[in-house]
Amino acid sequence: MIIGNPVTEGLVEIQNDTMQPTLPAGSLVVLNYADTSERDGLAMIEQAGQRKIARISFNGDQVTVWGDNTAYPSKQCQRGDLAVIAHVLRQYAIL
């Protein structure tokens, strides 16, 4: 049985602790690769050649990028410094 659209959706495992406590390492997210819109939310982004799951907020030419783990500060960057690869559709936390 196929759930979702295998062409536009993918399952990714969280590899680090930047999204803790919401998504600890080992948690899974379903990504919608068809949605690369520059809008606020939880998304996979590419920045400086690195891909990661992060919360993003757009404000004019500025973008704030952060995780849920308060040990890591939020970062500001220019809109052109990152690309939205996909938005998160669903999340499955491993507790």
Sorted by where each starts, the structural domains of the chain and their CATH numbers stand as 9-92 (2.10.109.10)
User: In sequence order, which residues have a C-beta less than 8 Å from that of residue 31 and are 6 or more positions away?
Assistant: 9, 10, 11, 12, 44, 85, 86, 87, 88, 89
Output the pLDDT for position 3. Answer: 54
Output the pLDDT for position 94. Answer: 82
Per-residue pLDDT of the chain (95 residues; tens, 9 = 90+): 345 566 788 999 999 999 999 999 999 999 999 999 999 999 999 999 999 999 999 999 999 999 999 999 999 999 999 999 999 999 998 87
Q: How much is the pTM?
A: 0.89
Output the pLDDT for position 5. Answer: 67
